[in-house]
Amino acid sequence: MYLKELTELDGVSGNEQQVREFISDKIKDKVDELKVDVLGNLIAYRKGTKGGRKIVLAAHMDEVGFMVTNIEDDGTLAFAPVGGVETQVMVGKIVRINGQTLGAIGYKAIHIQDKEQILKPLSIDQLRVYIGAKSKEEAARQVKIGDYVAFTTTFDQENNRLTGKAFDDRAGCSVLMDIIDKIDRYEDDVYFAFLVQEEVGLRGSAVVVEQIHPDIAIVIEGTTAGDDPELPEYQWATHLGDGPAITFMHRGYVVNKRVYESIIEVAEKYSIAHQAKRRTAGGTDAARFARTGAGTAAAVVSVPSRYIHSPVSMIDLNDYNNTVLLLQKILEQGEAFAR
């Protein structure tokens, strides 16, 4: 498992190189081919023993974050979200700009806010990143407009729970890397695609189908949970500890029925804990694979994650391990899978 290293790297959409270099370095000697495409996707290939079909396993390297959009006269930085981040999770956090400069996102003290202001959600134009600079010139020596900004949460593991930033989708990246480590050769040709720019509109995945022409694609995600006291149980999307979540439909895509059912068959055959993702909000690269080029039979398997798109999310270790196991068993079915 590579989650500690992976989640402590910065890789906001469009700026994934730290993550790509880390993964590339770890897997380059374990695969038959490795390349970085025009958009920055890292694609590894392992030849199958029969090679009758091409299967893509995909996870995205990028995470939500921010971009510096202006340097103010007082030396603070105006910023805009990259991907979906609520202002609610921004305040009171330390961020890292361009992989090095630290800054704080503060807000004016409760003592000097009106009563209505206290319970009114902030809009992003009320927030700035403070890097300790007192003028535009001083700030401009360290940062520039267009610099990427990431949260700085460090990884932790206790009580079978993993916490940190960017489990969406470093969890998927780590699952793929674990499968590569199992050095099994499967009947089908397997492509491991580490994608860019998922959080800004499923963009990296758009150029993958044309390069591979896969028969099947399985996207591995860190997906929403919502299993907390503020949501009644009927509104939960997934529940931590109940196993990988298998998606039957999400925004813009009804998952290929044959692949969806085959995944569940494998989980049941090997008694691997699994659950259905019970909400259809949110999208994944599976939608892009399905509608690109000649189309692909795409599916989604996810590690349930609490508090995603915030500086600190949480997954269950058993769910993670069961996700790796499920995908391994799927590949072991070889040509029998999703026939």
Residue 209 or 308: which CB sits closer to other proteins?
308
Stretch in the footprint of other proteins (CB under 8 A) among 48-56, 153-161, 174-182, 261-269: 153-161
Interface with other proteins in residues 219-238 (CB under 8 A): 224, 226-231, 235, 237
Handedness of CA 284, 290, 291, 292 (dihedral sign): positive
Q: Shortest distance, CB of residue 184 to other proteins, whole angstroms?
A: 33
The pairing of strands 189-195 and 93-97 is unpaired
Q: Which of 32, 52, 91, 145 binds other proteins (CB under 8 A)?
A: 91
Instruction: Copy the structure tokens of residue 53.
Output: 């079909």
Please name every residue paired with 245 in a beta bridge, in sequence order, or none if there are none.
Answer: 275, 302
Q: Which of 311, 321, 325, 331 binds other proteins (CB under 8 A)?
A: 311
List strands edge to edge, sheet with 161-164: 156-158, 161-164, 313-316
- Are 244 and 322 contacting, i.e. CB atoms less than 8 angstroms apart? yes
159 binds other proteins (CB under 8 A): yes
Q: Which of 1, 122, 124, 273 binds other proteins (CB under 8 A)?
A: 122
Q: Which of 281, 295, 335, 336 binds other proteins (CB under 8 A)?
A: 281
Contacts of 312 (CB under 8 A, 6+ apart): 153, 163, 164, 165
Residue 223 or 292: which CB sits closer to other proteins?
223
Q: Shortest distance, CB of residue 110 to other proteins, whole angstroms?
A: 4
266 binds other proteins (CB under 8 A): no
Residue 237 or 246: which CB sits closer to other proteins?
237
Interface with other proteins in residues 47-76 (CB under 8 A): 74
Residue 88 or 271: which CB sits closer to other proteins?
88
Task: Give the whole-angstrom CA distance, residue 162 versus residue 106.
Answer: 27
Instruction: Give the position of tokens 């800004």.
Output: 200
Q: Which of 38, 118, 183, 294 binds other proteins (CB under 8 A)?
A: 118
Please name every residue paired with 54 in a beta bridge, in sequence order, or none if there are none.
Answer: 189
Task: Give the whole-angstrom CA distance, residue 10 versus residue 169.
Answer: 12
Q: What is the DSSP letter of 161?
A: E
Residue 48 or 226: which CB sits closer to other proteins?
226
Cα–Cα distances in angstroms (integers) from residue 280 to residues 169, 250, 258, 284, in the given order: 18, 4, 19, 11
Instruction: Copy the structure tokens of residue 277.
Output: 């993702």
84 binds other proteins (CB under 8 A): yes
CA 300 to chain centre: 13
Annotated catalytic residue 198:
yes
Stretch in the footprint of other proteins (CB under 8 A) among 151-159, 262-270, 294-302, 326-334: 151-159
List strands edge to edge, sheet with 216-224: 33-36, 42-46, 189-195, 54-60, 216-224, 297-305, 245-246, 275-276
- Nearest partner of 224 among 316, 323, 321, 306, judged by Cα: 306
Q: Which of 50, 120, 185, 213 binds other proteins (CB under 8 A)?
A: 120
Residue 3 or 56: which CB sits closer to other proteins?
3
| Residue tagged active-site, from 198, 233, 261, 335 | 198
Residue numbers annotated as active site? 198
Q: Which residues bind other proteins (CB under 8 A)?
A: 74, 84-86, 88-89, 91-94, 102-113, 118-122, 130-134, 138, 142, 153, 156, 158-159, 161-163, 224, 226-231, 235, 237, 240, 279, 281-282, 306-312, 314
